[in-house]
A and B are shown apart, each in its own frame.
Chain A
Amino acid sequence: IVLTQSPVTLSLSPGEGATLSCKASQTVRSNYIAWYQQKTGQSPRLLIYGASSRAADIPDRFSGSGSGTNFTLTISRLEPEDFAVYYCQQYGSISLTFGGGTKVDVK
């Protein structure tokens, strides 16, 4: 399953909302989509699994939605620490795949 993330780069100001898209080349079984945040020089951090369930200790300004082939990560109000690269990942098939990433940077 190929995951296509858009936009590649999103330039926003702190306090603004962000909407990140992840489109799958075929239906993702049981909406098995995860989202990760990766800051420069750090490992990825799990944000969302099962398309919409927040991982432990993730602030509620992060939310996930979607089904089938279209999934969205929404950050309601950007905090300074939210500027990073975000990846979606599907685990609906035996072989896992990641999207190419969306970079959220400061406008």
Chain B
Amino acid sequence: QLHLQESGPGLVRPSETLSLTCTVSGGSVNNFYWGWVRQPAGKGLEWIGRVFTTGSTNYNPSLKSRVAMSVDTSKNQFSLTLHSLTAADTAVYYCARGGLRYFDYWGQGILVTVSS
């Protein structure tokens, strides 16, 4: 059974950079698309972007100028970097498999709060 686990800081200061990692176990990151989705408290889901194991990426146009994603096949991980954080970036961040289409496996999510 595939398992995804997000890791990273729970609190980040405004204007700083968020770095999250998703560790995949029970399967390989190779030859799949992987994605990030976030959800502010009490609100809906927002797609952040996707990365393929070759490093090819696509991002939400509303976040494109601030986001980067990558894959580390040697560690079976993929990552999200989001720059210039504001309070509006406070959310639960999910990593998931299948960002080209639908998402069939999800991590448990990590709450990231942007506050000084």
A interface with B by C-beta (< 8 Å): 32, 34, 36, 43-46, 49, 55, 87, 89, 91, 94-101
Contact = CB atoms under 8 A, between A and B. Distances in A.
Interface stretch (B10-18, B24-32, B71-79, B96-104): B96-104
B87 interface: no
Interface residues of B, number: 21
B58 A98 contact: no
A95 B102 contact: no
A46 B99 contact: no
Contacts of B106: 43-45
B44 A99 contact: yes
Nearest to B47: A96
A84 B108 CA distance: 17
B104 A97 contact: no
Given A94-B58, A95-B60, A46 B102 contact: yes
A94 B49 CA distance: 10
A46 B60 CA distance: 21
B101 A49 contact: yes
Contacts of B35: 96
Contact of B45 (A32, A49, A55, A87): A87
A67 to B, nearest CB: 17
B45 A34 contact: no
